[in-house]
Chains A and B, each alone.
Chain A
Amino acid sequence: MAGGQTAVAEGFVRGALKAGVDACVYLPDSCLTPIIRVFQKSPGVSMIPCAREDEGVGIAVGLHLGGRNPLCLMEASGIGYSGLILARAQVQRSPVVIVASHSAGPGEPFDYHSASALLSEGVFSGLGIPYEVAKEARSLEALIFRVVQTSQGQRTSFGLLIPPFIAAGADT
């Protein structure tokens, strides 16, 4: 991993652990894999790979019901698969924090991410799920802490979208 990516990933995981995250449900993604690698080295975090993103959200709902505090990491395309189970999670107040790459904002050069960028904010908005698009790498640690804090305190799912250049630490 490049140094910028590693520093961003380490800061993100520090913030998540400080907020009490103890499980990471994930599918690998080019932007978020550095974060997954840091979680994998973090004692006390259960790593749960899944086969589809919506399956992972279902697993996260179950983890929360059992008293755990998971994050779901995925490419934004998976948010599209996850609409129904995210709606159920909202209705029954089983909050799921989704951390996903790609947004409709700047820094998305590839056409094959267009659909992912289009749908992620649409799903969150449509379901009334609050979300943030990360604006700078150096504040990710504080941002994920606050996202998890709000999700737990308000019993709501929460989305955090991380554009590729932020995950790469290339915003400055």
Chain B
Amino acid sequence: MNRIEAMEAIAAARGEAAAVTGPGANSGLLYEKADRPATLYNMELGYSTSVALGVALACPGRPVLSIEGEGSFFAGSTVLSTIWRLRPSNLVVIVLDNEIWGTADGLEPTATAFGLDLARLALATGWDEAHVHRPADARALGAQVAAALRGGGPHLIVGKIDPKQDSTSASGSRARPKRHILDCAVLMRATLTGDA
């Protein structure tokens, strides 16, 4: 699948789930396709999922999404063991893996281009197969996200993006959120605490 198809599938399934997105193309695409008040865009590299974990623990009645590229997710991947230790049922982590750092000319490969398998990494940190998902295409991804957002988590969904079809890899070619990160945080907290 390509990233735009993947993000359209995620957007269609999102509902009112809170979301934290990592740096780069995923943030701009989510803003374009499924912006909601409870969204933090362009979280710093490596921290999207840890922040989403905190939101999920604070708001157990609300589904929470983390959406990251593989470079950012692997940088912060110690959080896999913490998630499994705490097991918030409302947390869904989506990793879109195109095997390329989404910056500059979009040509620098990430660790997954050399054999790193993030789904297997989750299993190695204790996760069981029932909570680790590898949808093969955008349709399966959308269905998996919709099912995961109904509960029974935590869930890790790793979707492979074809780097040859990924027009968003280079940093100059992507959409960007139009809400400042400070405004995002204020709006998200007000929404999640019922103070909007």
| Chain A residues at the B interface, C-beta cutoff of 8 Å | 23, 46, 48-52, 54-68, 70, 84-85, 87-88, 91-94
Contact = CB atoms under 8 A, between A and B. Distances in A.
Contacts of B50: 50, 54-59, 62, 85
Given A66-B55, A84-B44, 5 more contacts: A48-B86, A64-B58, A65-B185, A66-B192, A91-B181
Contacts of B45: 84
Contacts of A63: 54-55, 57-58
Interface string B167-193: 000000000000001101110110011
Interface in B1-53: 20, 40, 43-47, 49-53
Interface stretch (B77-85, B97-105, B112-120, B131-139): B77-85
B184 A66 contact: no
Size class of B's contact patch?
20 to 34
Contact of B40 (A49, A60, A65): A65
Contact of A62 (B55, B85, B181, B193): B55
A47 to B, nearest CB: 10
B158 to A, nearest CB: 20
12 contacts: A46-B57, A50-B79, A55-B47, A62-B55, A63-B58, A65-B185, A66-B189, A85-B47, A87-B44, A88-B47, A91-B182, A93-B182
Contact of B185 (A59, A85, A92): A92
B163 interface: no
Contacts of A48: 57, 86
Chain A contact residues: helix, strand, loop or mixed:
helix
B56 interface: yes
Contacts of B85: 49
Interface in B54-113: 54-59, 76, 78-79, 81-82, 85-86
List 5 A-B pairs, minimum CB-CB distance, nearest first.
A62-B54, A66-B58, A58-B50, A92-B185, A51-B78
B48 to A, nearest CB: 8
A116 B182 CA distance: 30
A65 B51 contact: yes
A82 B96 CA distance: 25
Contacts of A58: 47, 49-51, 53-54, 76, 79
Contacts of A56: 50
Given A58-B47, A58-B51, A94 B78 contact: no
